[in-house]
Chain A
């Protein structure tokens, strides 16, 4: 059972992560955590490739930007 994400981030680090999510920065650390929890047997993508794929996805379709 996972817990609901915390409302008030306890640490400054978590606050920074919240701000990054709001402005749309891909979160590699979270991805690593996810991979180690759910797909521990698989090799996660290296940081560079992960970021490239995430940015491509964000800027290749309408739905992330408005007038």
Chain B
């Protein structure tokens, strides 16, 4: 299936049957028929999803629509980009070949690069976003993931990967500076720091909500920290370098931790000790991230990352098997009434908020950092970029689709009971049932309680953030294959454990990266602050960075509406902002290559993202509904007249959130304007179309 783009002309020239090619042979006909069938299946399944109303739809339709669309898009669209836009050339030496140094730059087999790239891009994002967006029904999320990834997300990853491969593996920030200009480069740098802060705080909130009042979860997750330390010490002093052996040991210990949590939760004396409230958990998460940022990497971060990579791949495979074996019906309707903007999980209409809520899975700007990080330095052959960049993102979209299915196998009543905040549901199953019936769904209070005890939790009411409802959905699927109802509790906590493991890995690694970025910026103000091996500077910069995201996490914890409503849209906006930066860089690269006639490949998703980001940002700041608009919420609090420490802090937080949203919007406009100026100058011939691409050099690697 994988044709070498550049070889084709050559083979047809050399082939004796070149003349006969005009009359399609048996193989060509068969080939066309097969792809025709795949395309028709995809379109048929999409149409069935979009048009059928009233009856329950099986997940098989969603899987078919996604798989067929992705196959056709990969075969035809990614090939079009590879051949026409970039003219990828197997004979051209990649940085891994030219600059091989035994460390960073290493020509690597493409399947291994694919695995490495996928493990780096897949995280908690594609699991949580689709779960939250299911409040609109399954259709908006499904269509956005399927169409968005094919025309947007996968294109972005692919384009940035190729651009970076042709520039010695430069990072997105450097490319923004080189291709667009210093203003765009600096804006991108500051924006990345802002995105890290919001990303870490919102993921911290998800993990806090998942572990709140759950001794089983808290103990299991807590134990993953000593497990990582044991592995770190084992790898350093006992058997250095035996990573796989140590990781297997770690996986066995994780299973033990799962049972230890169950044992603690069942113990009348220990359970209350580990039943923690949200504020305590938030402080613990901050303390953990701070420590992870200042201790040596080998002790905690690296072993944890190895474990998490294994668990990640294992869970994605298990989820796929679970869905394919069970083929569950989707209990959630295609569209709910909340497309009108009154949704309980987060406020805002389906446009733009469905497209903000699902970032990872459809298009994620963060991937541009990875596609211009380690991956371009590993590609042995330029043409591998298609499979790694475009193909890798399609895989992540499949994860997003599976998460959406896992959320939609719950009945809407249960889904909203788990995901809506206390402020809307009240604190009892009865009040929740009442509120949910007001939204047009039914919830049997007894059923919710039964489900909670089945999964080994005291209550599932208002366990916001997406992780618990995804875990319930996954436990539902897994127990359908293995263990039945008795195994629900183990599967639920297994799912919580791996979600929290992913998130904590992003939290600690992100805090460390944020600390370095802060030191890099801070050294311009006070030189010693930038010394990465001077302990006081390390501690100070880590503390400042943790305080920055910790503030937002704390704000989410004390927010009576549940922080997801304000923080998740900010995260979505920031992630899409980064995608807009990446697509601006991509467009500039394409235009400067003299391929302006193909600039629509990146301009079309860019236009959509700019529309989505600016609309969502504007609404989050200025909308008149207090649930949607930050400023309206602050005014409503002021008008209520109650003055006190907490209220004034809430008002301050609202204004801060509005300022953050405004900053992201200004950043989009600055980078877009700066890029558009370049595009105009180049297309009018006022500026030579010269890019910083490294000139062609023949490769020494035989393909």
- A positions within 8 Å CB-CB of B: 1-7, 16, 18-28, 30-31, 33-35, 38, 47-48, 50-67
Interface-side segment among B362-370, B412-420, B639-647: B362-370
Are B575 and A57 neighbours in the complex by a CB distance under 8 Å? no
Known contacts being A25-B306, A35-B102, is A65 close to B509, with CB within 8 Å? yes
Is B671 positioned at the interface, with any CB of A under 8 Å from its CB? no
Are B102 and A60 neighbours in the complex by a CB distance under 8 Å? no
Are B104 and A57 neighbours in the complex by a CB distance under 8 Å? yes
Chain A: which residue is nearest B312 at the CB level? A23
Residue pairs across A and B with Cβ atoms less than 8 A apart, 11 shown, are A18-B111, A20-B244, A22-B115, A34-B102, A38-B100, A47-B240, A53-B103, A57-B103, A62-B192, A66-B121, A67-B364
Are B360 and A22 neighbours in the complex by a CB distance under 8 Å? no
Q: Which of B244, B302, B373 contacts A16 (CB 8 A)?
A: B244
Is B404 positioned at the interface, with any CB of A under 8 Å from its CB? no
B298 to chain A: which residues have CB within 8 Å?
Answer: 51-52, 55
Known contacts being A4-B703, A62-B369, A65-B510, is A21 close to B107, with CB within 8 Å? no
When chains A and B are docked, how far (Å) is the Cα of A1 from the Cα of B372? 28
Are A59 and B124 neighbours in the complex by a CB distance under 8 Å? no
Given contacts A23-B305, A65-B370, 19 further A-B contacts (CB under 8 A): A4-B109, A7-B109, A18-B115, A22-B112, A22-B119, A23-B310, A24-B119, A59-B301, A59-B509, A60-B532, A62-B373, A63-B369, A63-B373, A64-B374, A65-B120, A66-B120, A66-B364, A67-B124, A67-B199
Chain A: which residue is nearest B193 at the CB level? A62
Tally the A-B contacts, defined by beta carbons under 8 Å. Answer: 150
Q: Which of B119, B171, B532, B575 contacts A67 (CB 8 A)?
A: B575
- For this complex, into which size category does the number of interface residues on chain B fall? 35 or more
A51 to chain B: which residues have CB within 8 Å?
Answer: 241, 298
B125 to chain A: which residues have CB within 8 Å?
Answer: 66-67
Most chain B beta-carbon neighbours within 10 Å: one of A31, A47, A56, A59: A59
When chains A and B are docked, how far (Å) is the Cα of A67 from the Cα of B122? 7
Chain B: which residue is nearest A60 at the CB level? B516
Is B297 positioned at the interface, with any CB of A under 8 Å from its CB? yes
- B positions within 8 Å CB-CB of A: 100-104, 106-109, 111-112, 115-116, 119-125, 171, 192, 196, 199, 203, 240-241, 243-244, 247, 297-298, 301-302, 305-306, 309-310, 359-360, 364, 366-367, 369-370, 372-374, 380-381, 505-506, 509-510, 512-513, 516-517, 532, 575, 700-703
Chain B: which residue is nearest A57 at the CB level? B104
When chains A and B are docked, how far (Å) is the Cα of A27 from the Cα of B104? 11
Known contacts being A1-B700, A24-B309, is A67 close to B366, with CB within 8 Å? yes
B700 to chain A: which residues have CB within 8 Å?
Answer: 1-2
Closest CB-CB distance, B413 to chain A, in whole Å?
30
A67 to chain B: which residues have CB within 8 Å?
Answer: 123-125, 199, 203, 359-360, 364, 366, 506, 575
A64 to chain B: which residues have CB within 8 Å?
Answer: 120, 370, 373-374, 509
Are B513 and A65 neighbours in the complex by a CB distance under 8 Å? yes
List the 10 shortest-distance A-B pairs measured between CB atoms, nearest first: A63-B373, A34-B102, A67-B125, A22-B115, A5-B109, A23-B309, A31-B102, A55-B297, A65-B509, A25-B243
Are B297 and A56 neighbours in the complex by a CB distance under 8 Å? yes
When chains A and B are docked, how far (Å) is the Cα of A47 from the Cα of B124? 33
